[in-house]
Amino acid sequence: MFRIFSILFVLGLLLLSCTKDNADECDDDVPEYIDTTTLISLYNGMQSHNAGTDCKKCHQKGGNGKGWFVVSGTVYDSLMQQVFPNATVYIYDGLTSADPLLATIEVDSLGNFYTTQDIDFKNGLHVEVYGKSFTAKMGSLIYAASCNKCHGVTTNRIWTK
Ligand code: HEC
Ligand code: HEC
């Protein structure tokens, strides 16, 4: 009997220690779910949704979206109201487009782009968005690429023409 109580007691402690505040300590106990789905947007693609939202709210560890996006966002036209389909997002390892190209991401027909490919952002990367007659270039480097986390929230929507 005593043994059962002590087991229950220990289990109780384990449960108590797994609150949100110290989730790190629990990582070792709970087998980690890793979504290895490869999802990369393509010109004329129709699979995406939720244009303008921060895709990574759901498409990352802990979210319910399929695929964990490394880069994601939405491109609009110059009036920033309508989406701009089939643009192209280029990501460079450096300060300008003269530096090595790390990724070319096709924007789908809903204006959205996303990729689960592994890209190392730690040095800061340069990004450009090619439309049909205009290339929009971000002036500063990006260190994370959930583009809609800033664009449409703390700065203009991403646009091209
Ligand atoms: C509120 C949560 C949420 C947000 C925000 C969200 N998604 Fe999703 N997404 C999901 C869920 C859940 C699924 C899987 C169920 C489904 O297919 O509807 C999904 C599915 C998808 C799929 C299809 C995957 C497949 O192979 O079936 C794509 C592509 C996608 N999302 C792209 C995006 C993009 C791009 C954005 C941002 C512009 C975005 N999502 C924002 C929750 C979200
Ligand atoms: C941390 C916030 C943040 C993230 C993340 C971010 N941006 Fe930006 N972006 C800005 C800000 C602020 C500006 C305006 C100042 C500048 O150009 O540096 C900007 C400017 C731009 C411009 C030029 C806009 C213009 O009006 O000329 C483009 C294009 C752009 N970003 C694309 C992107 C893309 C594509 C991504 C994702 C791969 C991205 N940005 C991620 C904050 C962000």
For residue 3, what pLDDT is reported? 58
Report the pLDDT value the prediction gives residue 130, as an integer from 0 to 100. Answer: 98
90 alpha carbon, closest ligand: 2
- Out of 50, 74, 83, mutate this one to test ligand 1's pocket (max ligand atoms within 8 Å of CB): namely 50
CA of 6 to the centre of ligand 1 (A): 45
CA–CA distances in Å: residue 43 to residues 87, 129, 151: 8, 14, 21
What is the whole-number distance in angstroms between the Cα of residue 24 and the centre of ligand 2?
A: 32
How confident is the model at residue 42, as a pLDDT? 98
Per-residue pLDDT of the chain (161 residues; tens, 9 = 90+): 455 555 444 444 444 444 445 455 555 667 788 999 999 999 999 999 999 999 999 999 999 999 999 999 999 999 999 999 999 999 999 999 999 999 999 999 999 999 999 999 999 999 999 999 999 999 999 999 999 999 999 999 999 99
pTM metric for this prediction: 0.87
Bin 72: left if φ > 0, else alpha if -120 < ψ < 50, else beta: beta
Domain boundaries, the chain: 1-32, 33-159
Ligand approaching nearest to the C-alpha of 69: 1
The answer to whether 47 and 91 have CB atoms below 8 angstroms apart is no
CATH T-level assignment (fold) for domain 33-159: Immunoglobulin-like (2.60.40)
Which pLDDT does position 10 carry in this prediction?
Answer: 47
